[in-house]
Each structure stands twice: as structure tokens, then as C-alpha cells.
Amino acid sequence: MSLLEAVNMALDYEMSRDPNVVVLGEDVAENGGVFRATQGLKQKFGFKRVMDTPLAEAMIGGVAVGMAAQGLRPVAEFQFQGFVFPAMEHIVCHAARLRNRTRGRLSCPLVYRAPFGGGIHAPEHHSESVEALFAHTPGLQVVIPSSPQRAYGLLLAAIRSNDPVMFFEPKRIYRTVKSSVENNGLALPLGQSFVLKAGRDITLVTWGALVVEAMQAATQMADQGIDIEVIDLASIKPIDMATILQSLRKTGRLLVVHEAVKTCGVGAELLARVAEEGMCLLKAPPVRLTGFDTVMPYAKNEAYNLISVGDIVEKSAQLMEDW
């Protein structure tokens, strides 16, 4: 099963279990979404629960807040993460603040889904990695799966959460990463990272599609005698610092790898938190390997902008050689 199919299966499961779960977005009903993540749901649950919307992201963001405030659990799809900006006012000023504004009288149980990241030769606004924007907003949870199992379990948890969740799906691995997923309705905990490979020399923290390159780099470094521990952060907010600090007690070296721009990215937050909470655990200064501080280029230069296995190997070797 692909990551995309796991998203569809989680939506199907939760809509069958909870009649308050509804899906809305551009082309999600008749066409099953731009990537077909909602394919077949309208035929099974009807147009009152799977709704096509106009090409109006601000409306999608706002209607979802109204639905959630009135007892539904909407799952709203933005076709690409770069399309979310017209809806920012509704997400940041209303969805994220509803519980605080009503002093707990109302909650806002909704999920905003959006494919994100580069690697599919898409035009402008189709390849953004702006998870840090939302991690900076009080009241929002930010989740990024990196495998079919985690997409299934984390999406179930996001839909069942009583507070809004930004659920960003790495579209570069929508169909390329496959594994078996049991349709058992078991949610994975939000706010928890996952140790994908144990190691003794370097703690490598990443998320989304770059988990693939991180694991390949760890295998190459193992051949050179460098043992990398790979952690899939998964929940960008809240951040599971306990797992990272526990890993650093073994390795003493931290490498954070993300596709988003470097300045004020999530990597900066991770390094700051380690400096505050685990400075004494470090044998070397923590380092980041990130995207450039620029918009994602068009197809011809996209590969230059993306982080490769070789980049991670080179940075890891440097971290070991220098310290």
C-alpha cells in the first residue's frame, strides 16, 4: 500500500466510524482530489459528507472552522501547501484561537490536509515546505507522516483530536514508499517522534520525504563505520524533545535535515531547544542541513535545491571528522 492509499483508508475508516467526519475541498468528491486521496469516498458516503468546493481556499479554511464549531469534524483539503495562504486568516485567527477565545466553551476539531514539498517538477506554489509558519502559531498542531503506516495512524489521531491539526503529506513519496498497513483503526500518538534506526555516533532528525534519503545515508555511513541513529520527527508541533535528548545521550552529535528554508526553520528551533535542555550532552556543535533561503526553483534546477543522499553523507562525515 502506498502512502496515498493509506490516507484514503484512514479517511474511509474514520468516516465509517464517526458520522460527524466530513471531507471538503476542490475536486475531492467527483474526482477524488488532485492526487486521488479521497477517491471513492463520495460514492460511499454521499455528497453531504464529501463536498466539492469552489476554487476558493479562503472559503475552505473558513467553512471548516464553522463546521467544527457546530459539532462536525471536517477534514479540509488544500490541493497544495502553497495554496494555503489565502486561508491563513481563518487558520491563524480563528481555527487556532477558537478554544482560547471562548475560554474553552468551544473547541475546533478539524484537520487541514495539504501535499507539500518538492521533487515532482511542479510550478510555483506547488512545492512549498512552510511547516514552520504553522508551528509558530499557538493553538495549531503540525503533523507530517513519512510512511503509509504513520500516515494512517497519525491521520486517525488528527481527525480525533479536539484541536486543529495541519496535516502535511510529502507528495514526493505519495506513491513511491509502500508497505503493508492493517486497517485496524489504531491511531498513533501525536507529539511523538519515531526512532527508525538505532545508532551510537550521530542523531539525525528529519521528517517527511527526506526520511528516505536519511535512511539511505545511514546505510552508506554504516559501511564506513559511522553508526547513525535516524529519528522521524513526525509531529512538528508539539515536538518530542524527550526522544531526541535520549538519543543524544548516546551519540553526542546532532544533525537536523529538512527541506524547508534554513532561516527560522524548524531546525533552528530544535537546535535552540537542545542548547537549552541538552547542551551538556553534546560532543560537537549541532548542525543543520536545509533547503536554501529561496523559493523552490522550477523543474530544471529543482534537483539542485533538494537535499540528496550525498549531501547527508558529506555533512555526517564532516560532523564526525571535525569533532
Inter-CA distances, 284 with 202, 240, 323, Å:
10, 21, 6
Q: What amino acid is encoded at 231 in this protein? A: I
What CA–CA distance (Å, rounded) separates 54 from 24?
10
71 exposure class (CB count in 10 Å sphere: 0-12, 13-18, 19+): exposed
Residues 6+ positions from 216 with CB-CB distance below 8 Å: 309
Burial class (CB within 10 angstroms; exposed 0-12, middle 13-18, buried 19+) of 306: buried
Catalytic residue among 94, 121, 125, 126: 126
Active-site residue 126, yes or no? yes
Distance CA 41, CA 319 (A): 48
Burial label for 196, CB within 10 Å (0-12, 13-18, 19+), is middle
Q: What's the rounded Cα separation, in Å, for the pair 266 and 296?
A: 18
Question: Alpha carbon of 96 to those of 53, 57, 141, 145, 246: distances in Å?
Answer: 22, 17, 9, 21, 31
Contact 211, 196 (CB under 8 A): yes
Q: How crowded is residue 31: how many other Cβ atoms within 10 Å of its Cβ?
A: 13
| Nearest C-alpha neighbor of 120 from the set 160, 171, 79, 158 | 171
Q: Which residues are catalytic?
A: 126
